[in-house]
Structure 1
Amino acid sequence: MISAEKNDQMTRVGPGTPAGRLLRRYWQPVALAEELQGPRPLKPVKLMGQDFVLFRDEAGRFGLLDRDCPHRGADLAYGRLESGGLRCAFHGWLFDATGQCLETPAEPAGSKLCTRIRQGAYPVVEKSGVVFAYVGEGEPPAFPEFDCFVAPDSHTFAFKGLWECNWLQALEVGIDPAHASFLHRFFEDEDTSESYGKQFRGASADSKMAITQVLREYDCPEIRVAPAPYGMQLTTLRKLSEEQTHVRVTNLVFPQAFVIPMSSEMTISQWHVPVDDTHCYWYAIFTSFTGPVDKQQMREQRLATIELPDYTSRKNKRNQYGYSVEEQMAQTYTGMGMDINVHDQWACESMGPIQDRTREHLGTTDKGIVAYRRMLQEAIDSTLAGDTAPMVIDASQAGALTGPASIDGVAATAQADDYCREADLARRRASDWASARLAA
């Protein structure tokens, strides 16, 4: 249980708020690269309560500008992409990707007004199909050399979805290993050979046992939390017998991402990004260590549950998340279908737009959430004091931040403590792109 004041400090993200000041020190996902395809590569973006317009100019360069034109405040999201920039439809003022005003057409000949006008502009970079932006002060941090950023494009796939709740409660579901035994419980196991692209539906590594069976039958795990250079690592142990233990290793990447195993061949790196105080997007990069990702199949699977253009879930609070009494009795623990994203969305949105943490009572299995909140509060306090924060790194530090290892498998109980390191190393040695990096 925390105070209402601390809850506000950790959840509110507008300009000048404590958490908002902290999160602006990091690169934030703002769009999928595929959203900027087509004849008009432009979209409005709302990030941490601020309005921007994201575009790609004729030379392919990304730009992120404040959305209101500095002339008289008209909406640049309705502007025209032409003449090397974005032109306001009101009076024709033209801005390039750096925010420099290039033309003020209605001004008298010889006017130098445009040389004195600069629109708010922010650094933008594409990584593995996700467009990241930095909207804070000073120089942005370097990107760590995580698997999701260094794998070939052929071995990654990016997607996103919108949730109607605060970013923090959305993030915290990813660092809560105990919930999967209940929230994602299936009463029957699918053929694991048909599990491609489906989280929790395959078999654990080094085992033919379906992950769904492990979660269903072993619902009282031992959870270990350890600090890591990027944030923290969570190890969840489910003892299957005296001889075998199920090991699942996940990671919290500060400030608002986690890396988890999707299958024996693929990991998910996921960010929960505040749109405002009561809405957030999750952005996920799926990274394959074996063959190229079947992007078409992955996209089709997700478009079956997500509606464009806003990437909203087809099952949501307005249709009770597809809840079925009959399904809850016979097929799934929630009665809300087979997509675990819907399960997570219901859990997080049901807490309210911003969870009231003064009313919660945490248990032993919440140790990861407790550790993260302590880390978050310390980083907020450090930022308010003008000091550094975790993962605000430079290029020399970025090269040392690799992985992070994320594994789901069955180990000999006596070797469970070493399983993650050994299984991760074996997976990398068998991977064309990851083994090349090991050799380097």
Structure 2
Amino acid sequence: MTPEQNKFITLSGPATPLGDLLRQYWQPVAITEELEGERPLKAIKVLGQDLVLFRDEDGRLGLIDRDCPHRGADLAFGRLEDGGVRCPFHGWLFDVNGACLETPAEPKGSSFCKRIKQRAYPVREVGGTIFGWFGPLDADGQAPALPALDCLAAPDSHVFSFKGYLDCNWLQALEVGMDPAHASFLHRYFEDAEADANYGKQFRAHSTDSDLPMTKVLREYDCPDIAVTPSDCGLRITTLRHLDGGDTHVRVTNVLFPQAFVIPLSSTMTITQWHVPIDDHSCYWYAMFTSFAEPVDKPLMREQRLQLYTLPDYMPRVGRHNNWGFDVEEQKTRTFTGMGEDINVHDQWAVESQGRIQDRTREHLGTSDKAIVAYRVMLINQIKKVQKGEAPLALPPLGEGNAGAGPATIDGVAPGGMAPEAYWRDAVERLRAEATWNVPALAL
């Protein structure tokens, strides 16, 4: 890959080719709990843009540019009052739609404020995640509907949202999630743990239709067969590990174009995770954990993750500044990395240690990287479509009955003699049919 090609697929600011593509999709901008408390206002940066997210007295969400259109003062320090956010500099007041409601220093009877509008962006809140729209609007000035995804169709009781900061470009953060081979090494534990004692933790559950811990499968079968096929949402990745005795471990994951993946957490819970650029050198991951069985234990899952991340900015407690918690003795005896039990730290090291923007001119991709190759080809092609004025790949909208939700994802063991594809399709149908909420059937 040339330096120019690397910039083409990594730089996402305003008026960049990649930035124009990403602005054709809803972007997670915050999680609901960030606006809890007595002052529901937060400065955020997304795709290189400085913004203010707030909730007014009536509970309406607003997402507007951060600089006051009067003389550029910072609205992140504004007063939440009188139906909007008021700039402390001269008292100009803006509502959730960016309309200027008051310019109090102007002469009495002045209509000046009616000519002022702060740029505002559509927002949607679902499942504990707040999404912003930065792309074109339709003829009626409306943003498109959210996409049809299980995490957006599920009841709030069955979805838990969280986020975390990564000190690197969004693309290398995303690419680790579409790489099935790395889990056998980066996330290798030398001992297995009881699944019941590790609720909500990745690779600590048992695979579906088996009593095999995922950790054991990954550790003992480290050369999987990987297949990548285009799908309605982006790419489907099927990873097979052929077990002793004739059974086959089957893991189906998805690249949700352009910047998310959908993977299984356990036999009844999935993860949909976006990687959203803050700027070109940093990003947030946003994860929505969706349960198809019992409601999610949100307090427990939040407590688990706050052991690694600090509030209010969801910054990791380990990173470059302390060598990601690396411990030589642990690397010898407990984990492959020597960086603790949490796979988020493992992934964080893997992507941050590549540099803030990975130099892809120096990499040597192998057969096990076929999903990454396929994704980059897709990304480049979709950027070029937008440059031509064409619409990029998109999921159908979330509509009545949540038709078209998905995509399918599973981690299970197919019995000997059963074709892996037949197995995972059957397992996905069973999961959805036995769900405790109204999950639509998928056309598999």
TM range (shorter): over 0.9
* 1:420 CA drift (Å): 1.4
Q: Number of paired residues? A: 437
* 1:414 CA drift (Å): 2.8
* 1:434 CA drift (Å): 3.8
Partner of 1:390: 393
Deviations 1:118-151 (A, max 9, x none): 0000000101100000112224333222110111
User: Which whole-Å CA distance do the structure 1 matches of 2:193 and 2:414 have between them?
Assistant: 23
Conserved in 1, the CA contact under 8 Å of 2:147 and 2:395? no
* 1:392 CA drift (Å): 6.6
User: Which whole-Å CA distance do the structure 1 matches of 2:50 and 2:396 have between them?
Assistant: 27
User: Which whole-Å CA distance do the structure 1 matches of 2:441 and 2:323 have between them?
Assistant: 48
Conserved in 2, the CA contact under 8 Å of 1:178 and 1:365? yes
Residues 161-240 of structure 1 mapped to structure 2, 5 A cutoff: 161-240=164-243
Conserved in 2, the CA contact under 8 Å of 1:145 and 1:398? no
Residue identity over aligned pairs, in percent, reads 60
Residues 86-235 of structure 1 mapped to structure 2, 5 A cutoff: 86-139=85-138, 140-235=143-238
Residues 21-420 of structure 1 mapped to structure 2, 5 A cutoff: 21-139=20-138, 140-391=143-394, 401-415=404-418, 416-420=420-424
User: Which whole-Å CA distance do the structure 2 matches of 1:406 and 1:394 have between them?
Assistant: 20
SS in 1 for 2:9: helix
Conserved in 2, the CA contact under 8 Å of 1:144 and 1:399? no
User: Which whole-Å CA distance do the structure 1 matches of 2:272 and 2:184 have between them?
Assistant: 21
* 1:240 CA drift (Å): 0.2
Pick closer, same or farther for the CA change 1:313–1:396 going to 2, 3 Å.
closer
Which residues of structure 1 form unaligned runs of 5+? Answer: none
Conserved in 2, the CA contact under 8 Å of 1:239 and 1:413? no
* 1:374 CA drift (Å): 0.5
Conserved in 2, the CA contact under 8 Å of 1:171 and 1:257? yes
Conserved in 2, the CA contact under 8 Å of 1:69 and 1:88? yes
User: Which whole-Å CA distance do the structure 1 matches of 2:72 and 2:146 have between them?
Assistant: 34
Conserved in 2, the CA contact under 8 Å of 1:141 and 1:392? no
* 1:438 CA drift (Å): 4.3
User: Which whole-Å CA distance do the structure 1 matches of 2:232 and 2:194 have between them?
Assistant: 38
Deviations 1:278-325 (A, max 9, x none): 000000000001101110100000001111111011111101111000
Partner of 1:433: 437
Deviations 1:42-87 (A, max 9, x none): 0001001110000000110000000000000000000001000110
Conserved in 1, the CA contact under 8 Å of 2:168 and 2:351? yes
Conserved in 2, the CA contact under 8 Å of 1:234 and 1:251? yes
Pick closer, same or farther for the CA change 1:210–1:396 going to 2, 3 Å.
closer
Conserved in 1, the CA contact under 8 Å of 2:410 and 2:427? yes
User: Which whole-Å CA distance do the structure 1 matches of 2:257 and 2:146 have between them?
Assistant: 12
Q: Which amino acid aligns with 1:247?
A: V
Conserved in 1, the CA contact under 8 Å of 2:148 and 2:399? no
* 1:396 CA drift (Å): 7.5
Conserved in 2, the CA contact under 8 Å of 1:163 and 1:345? yes
Conserved in 1, the CA contact under 8 Å of 2:147 and 2:397? no
Q: Which moved more, 1:178-187 or 1:387-396?
A: 387-396
- C-alpha RMSD of the superposition: 1.5
TM-score, normalised via structure 1 length: 0.97
TM-score, normalised via structure 2 length: 0.96
Q: Which amino acid aligns with 1:103?
A: E
SS in 1 for 2:417: helix
Conserved in 1, the CA contact under 8 Å of 2:188 and 2:336? yes
User: Which whole-Å CA distance do the structure 1 matches of 2:301 and 2:357 have between them?
Assistant: 31
Pick closer, same or farther for the CA change 1:160–1:153 going to 2, 3 Å.
same
SS in 2 for 1:63: strand
User: Which whole-Å CA distance do the structure 2 matches of 1:172 and 1:194 have between them?
Assistant: 30
Conserved in 1, the CA contact under 8 Å of 2:148 and 2:397? no
Conserved in 2, the CA contact under 8 Å of 1:64 and 1:124? yes
Q: Which amino acid aligns with 1:378?
A: N
User: Which whole-Å CA distance do the structure 2 matches of 1:430 and 1:90 have between them?
Assistant: 57
Pick closer, same or farther for the CA change 1:397–1:157 going to 2, 3 Å.
closer
Conserved in 2, the CA contact under 8 Å of 1:99 and 1:121? yes
SS in 1 for 2:286: strand
Q: Which amino acid aligns with 1:30?
A: V
Which residues of structure 2 form unaligned runs of 5+? Answer: none
